[in-house]
Amino acid sequence: MDLKKLLNEKQYEAVETINGPVLVLAGAGSGKTRVLTYRIANMIQNYNIYPSNILAITFTNKAAQEMRERVKNLIGDEIEVGSMWISTFHSTCVRILRREIDKLGYNKNFTIYDSYDSKTLIKQCMKELNINDKDITDREIASKIGSCKDAFISARQYKLENEKNFRENKIADVYELYQRKLKENNALDFDDLIYKTVELFKKNEDVLGFYQRKFKYIMVDEYQDTNGSQYLLTKLLASEHKNLFVVGDDDQSIYGWRGADIKNILDFEKDYEDAKIIKLEENYRSKANILDAANSVIGNNPHKHLKTLRTNNESGEKIKIYRAHSDKDEADFVCNEMDNIIKDKNKKYNDFAILYRTNAQSRLFEEKFLSRGIPYRLIGGLKFYDRKEIKDIMSYLKVINNSLDSVALERIINVPKRNIGDTTVNKLKEYAEYTELPLFSAVLDCETIPTLTPRATTSINKFASLMSSFMRKKDEIKVSELIDEVIKETGYVEELKKSNAPEDVSRIENLKELVSAAVEFEKNNEDKSLAAFLELNTLNSDVDNYDEDADAVVLMTVHSAKGLEFPVVYMVGMENGIFPGTASFDSQTEMEESRRLCYVGITRAKEMLYMTHADYRMVYGKTVSYAPSDFISEINKDLKEYIGVEKKKFVGETGNSKFKGFSGFNTRSNGSFGIASSKPKANSGEKSVLDPDTATIGLKVRHQKFGEGTIVSLSKKEEGTYATIAFMSNGVKVLRLDIAPLQLA
């Protein structure tokens, strides 16, 4: 490989820097995957480094697979690539724990709980501790436990830190009981995979030493998205040789809400004083106008690592800003524009992506696409493995693989119905707790439980016999054959066939698809065991299943789009209160992360970028009107054009109220937002009459007859100024401001 010809100057420097700590600040579209793959190939071919001494960590299975394929193509040796660890944090940790977790008192065939299983177990713990979910929700407790594990805070430590806080103390009690029950079930939740690996290393110096010697060269992608436990894991592994090569971009740190700590990348030089910093600032993805728009937005955030993306690409079209009358108009506009671009520019449906801030925003677009016959793929909707019938069969497989998994066992003990009702299950659980045995042991010993009826005992014995036969076969037949047998022998499909419900027909199809997924797994994986199949599907994310070749429009959140790129991108719902969200107006830190998220969204576009917002939309069943997003106003004027409507002077671009999300912004208890008038509010008990000259789009007003509403558009005519007002209870009205009885709300 002639690396100097294949790479630009900074990419070459990164690829050739082999030893010592290195931080590569890689801007969007600057070729970081190219750097990572060429560096691995260079290390193996030109520096004779054993592939097994290299650990490369990414954040998605899709990225890991892509990296493996690229390295294989570069070095042409599949065996060498196979001996190297290229995987996600979680997959890396599972691989270590499958070998070593017995040192923490677990069996190596542990189950990995998904969010549904975790919530089920948390609810059990809450019930046992008499915690009312009206006082503290299972969602709040799950979030708190996850945050603790991300920061490597144990249940005991959390309880000690919150002894004087009644609420937090209750959460700590659930956390402690939850961890104990996980261990009894020989199960780990998703956050445990990294947490327990760090715990393993901290408690077993010999185990840590082995992996430190094995992984002499460590590479971490998307370092800005690492949390506390991931940071500790990386630091522990790299502390022996200090050959740590991390790639990231502080401008793309967008996962603070799920534990990512931007300090990990900002403080890299403090952790490794002799670290080398390399900046990749040449963008190969986007047209110049799109890149300049991204730079102008992110420039409003404070920077520790200064860098400016540049490109040799042509300017391209300006950013198109569309102001819709309503959210339905917004969806219609997107559909019409796509049709026009497909005709005029010879594009396909998979050239388009609709990006939004929250999953709830997809509904209107899905309805429009369905009515107009536009094929689409929804990333982040109901996952295949979240469907009831799939979770049922997967729970059978979990118990077959790990009989200690009481959560999975409780789910399927009476599915399909076999006369083992809740009363019987509770008696089994009471016996298990009394004898301090797993629930499946109680199932096997059911004849010795005096509280069970003969009928219940017969049903339980049949179930135990069925499960035991599956367990005997699990190592003798393929996973696909085992799934097929479970579906048939349990009578699951027969019960669905008896149903007249149309959704049960599709459930049967989904079960066939599960068998197909297992066949595909057997073709593509060296480890074809049941444990590996369960593991793979627990660790998969939505983006891992995204098929770039499918000719369909992609609908996804901006968070899900990170790492992807599309010729044409629509960023919809660009309004204050949606993007940025409400929390951003109370916190500078939140606003900065929202701005980074906007930067990520903009830089997904290669050729064309649209930003749309609406005069009013339905949110939680109410008509609301939000001001255009601050982020639109932060894009330089010469980089954007307003289309589809008469050019209007948008609030936030007058120079008087470019409020950075804080000054002049009213938050109402009903969730609607508007720009505050410069005229001061009347004293308590008085009402301030609206002055037509101070009326602005987004202003909250009150009418004697129509009640409270929001100005969504203004039109000046010879006889006076007319306002289109969306009233909360009386729809949209057009009123002349100098004669209408309007007051400031």
The one-letter amino acid code at 701 reads V
- Catalytic option among 10, 32, 216, 606: 32
- pLDDT, mean of residues 456-481: 94
Same-domain check for residues 83 and 224: yes
- pLDDT, mean of residues 525-537: 88
Catalytic-residue membership of 222: yes
Domain of residue 459, residue span:
386-535
Same-domain check for residues 503 and 571: no
What percentage of the chain exceeds 70 in pLDDT?
Answer: 91
Same-domain check for residues 433 and 354: no
Q: How far apart are CA 691 and CA 496, in angstroms?
A: 66
Q: Does residue 655 surpass a pLDDT of 80?
A: no
Catalytic-residue membership of 45: no
Asked if residue 401 lies in contact with residue 109, where contact means CB atoms within 8 angstroms, the answer is yes
pLDDT band at 652 (very low <50, low <70, confident <90, very high): very low
Q: How far apart are CA 402 and CA 109, in angstroms?
A: 6
pLDDT band at 405 (very low <50, low <70, confident <90, very high): very high
Catalytic-residue membership of 604: yes
- 684 Rama sector, left if φ>0, alpha if ψ -120 to 50, beta otherwise: beta
Q: How far apart are CA 255 and CA 322, in angstroms?
A: 28
Q: How high is the pLDDT of residue 676?
A: 30
Strands (E) located in 647-706: 665-667, 673-675, 700-703
Assigned domain for 586 exists: yes
Structure tokens at 543: 């983006």
Same-domain check for residues 334 and 205: no
Same-domain check for residues 328 and 357: yes
Q: How high is the pLDDT of residue 513?
A: 84
Structure tokens at 121: 């177990």
- Catalytic option among 58, 92, 124, 252: 252
Q: Specify the number of domains making up the chain.
A: 5
Same-domain check for residues 437 and 528: yes
pLDDT band at 653 (very low <50, low <70, confident <90, very high): very low
Same-domain check for residues 81 and 222: yes
Same-domain check for residues 365 and 415: no
Q: How high is the pLDDT of residue 539?
A: 80
Kind of pairing, strands 700-703 and 187-189?
unpaired
Measured CA distances, 268 to 22, 231, 257, 304 (Å): 9, 11, 21, 12
548 vs 720, higher pLDDT: 720
Assigned domain for 550 exists: yes
Q: Does residue 678 surpass a pLDDT of 50?
A: no
Q: Does residue 686 surpass a pLDDT of 60?
A: no
- pLDDT, mean of residues 135-141: 92
Which segments are annotated as binding site for ATP?
Answer: 26-33
Same-domain check for residues 171 and 208: no
The last residue of a domain, from among 236, 264, 282: 282
The last residue of a domain, from among 535, 568, 587: 535
Structure tokens at 743: 């007051």
Asked if residue 7 lies in contact with residue 284, where contact means CB atoms within 8 angstroms, the answer is no
Burial of 704 (0-12, 13-18, 19+ CB in 10 A): exposed
What percentage of the chain exceeds 90 in pLDDT?
Answer: 63
The last residue of a domain, from among 265, 282, 299: 282
- Catalytic option among 100, 221, 351, 389: 221
- Give SS3 for 319: strand
Measured CA distances, 483 to 393, 405, 465 (Å): 8, 18, 17
Kind of pairing, strands 742-744 and 700-703?
antiparallel
- pLDDT, mean of residues 351-365: 90
Q: How far apart are CA 346 and CA 354, in angstroms?
A: 19
Q: How high is the pLDDT of residue 688?
A: 65
Q: How high is the pLDDT of residue 502?
A: 64
- 456 Rama sector, left if φ>0, alpha if ψ -120 to 50, beta otherwise: alpha
Q: How high is the pLDDT of residue 645?
A: 57
Phi, psi of 734 (to 5 degrees): -110, 120
- Give SS3 for 649: coil
Predicted model pTM = 0.75
Q: How high is the pLDDT of residue 635?
A: 96
**Sequence-distant (≥ 6) Cβ neighbours of residue 514 within 8 angstroms:** 390, 393, 483
Catalytic-residue membership of 58: no
Specify the long-range contacts of residues 458-465, CB closer than 8 Å, at least 24 apart.
459/418, 459/419, 459/420, 459/424, 460/420, 460/424, 460/428, 462/418, 463/413, 463/418, 463/420
Q: How high is the pLDDT of residue 383?
A: 65
- pLDDT, mean of residues 44-58: 93
Q: Does residue 685 surpass a pLDDT of 60?
A: no
Q: Does residue 651 surpass a pLDDT of 50?
A: no
Place of tokens 């916190």: 587
For CA atoms 405, 64, 358, 668, the dihedral sign is positive
- pLDDT, mean of residues 290-304: 90
Tens of pLDDT, residue by residue over 580-629, are 988 888 889 999 999 999 999 999 999 999 999 999 888 766 778 888 99
Which segments are annotated as binding site?
Answer: 26-33
Q: Does residue 669 surpass a pLDDT of 50?
A: no
Same-domain check for residues 130 and 157: yes
Instruction: Give the DSSP H or E segment for 6.
Output: helix 3-6
| Angle, alpha carbons 387-226-205 (nearest 5°) | 105
Assigned domain for 521 exists: yes
Q: How high is the pLDDT of residue 543?
A: 63
Q: How high is the pLDDT of residue 545?
A: 60
Q: How high is the pLDDT of residue 721?
A: 83
Assigned domain for 84 exists: yes
Assigned domain for 293 exists: no
Q: Count other Cβ atoms within 10 Å, centred on residue 698.
A: 25
Q: Does residue 681 surpass a pLDDT of 80?
A: no
- Range of lowest pLDDT (167-176, 383-392, 440-449): 383-392
485 vs 648, higher pLDDT: 485
Tens of pLDDT, residue by residue over 359-399, are 878 888 988 998 898 999 888 765 677 788 999 999 999 99
**Sequence-distant (≥ 6) Cβ neighbours of residue 745 within 8 angstroms:** 700, 701, 702, 708, 709
Q: How high is the pLDDT of residue 382?
A: 59
- pLDDT, mean of residues 297-317: 86
Assigned domain for 366 exists: yes
CATH number at residue 481: 1.10.486.10
- Catalytic option among 100, 114, 189, 222: 222
Mean per-residue pLDDT over the chain, rounded: 87
CATH number at residue 198: 3.40.50.300
Q: How high is the pLDDT of residue 692?
A: 81
- Catalytic option among 149, 604, 606, 700: 604
- pLDDT, mean of residues 144-148: 95
Q: Which of 710, 707, 686 is nearest to 696 (CA)?
A: 710
Assigned domain for 202 exists: yes
Q: How far apart are CA 353 and CA 593, in angstroms?
A: 22
Same-domain check for residues 497 and 444: yes
Assigned domain for 663 exists: no
Phi, psi of 86 (to 5 degrees): -120, 105
Catalytic-residue membership of 329: no
Same-domain check for residues 447 and 527: yes
pLDDT band at 706 (very low <50, low <70, confident <90, very high): confident
